[in-house]
Amino acid sequence: MFKYVSYTPMTDAFTTHIFNEKDDKCKVHRFDVPYVSIECDNEADFNALMAYQNPIINATEIDKTQFTDLVQHSDQVKRMYDVANEQYAKDMKAVNSLYTQDEIDSWAMQVAEAKAVKDGSKEVTPFLTAYSSDRGISLSSAADEVLAKSKEYSNFSASKLKLKRATVKKLKAVVGM
pLDDT band at residue 57 under the 50/70/90 scheme: very high
pLDDT band at residue 88 under the 50/70/90 scheme: very high
Confidence check: pLDDT of 159 > 90: yes
pLDDT band at residue 22 under the 50/70/90 scheme: very high
Model confidence pTM above 0.95: no
Q: DSSP string covering the chain, please?
A: -EEEEE---EE-SS-EE-----STTEEEEE-SSSEEEEEESSHHHHHHHHHHS-GGG--EEE-HHHHHHHHTTSHHHHHHHHHHHHHHHHHHHHHHTTS-HHHHHTHHHHHHHHHHHHTT-----HHHHHHHHHHT--HHHHHHHHHHHHHHHHHHHHHHHHHHHHHHHHHHHHTT-
Q: What is the mean pLDDT of residues 137-160?
A: 95
pLDDT of amino acid 94: 87
pLDDT band at residue 13 under the 50/70/90 scheme: confident
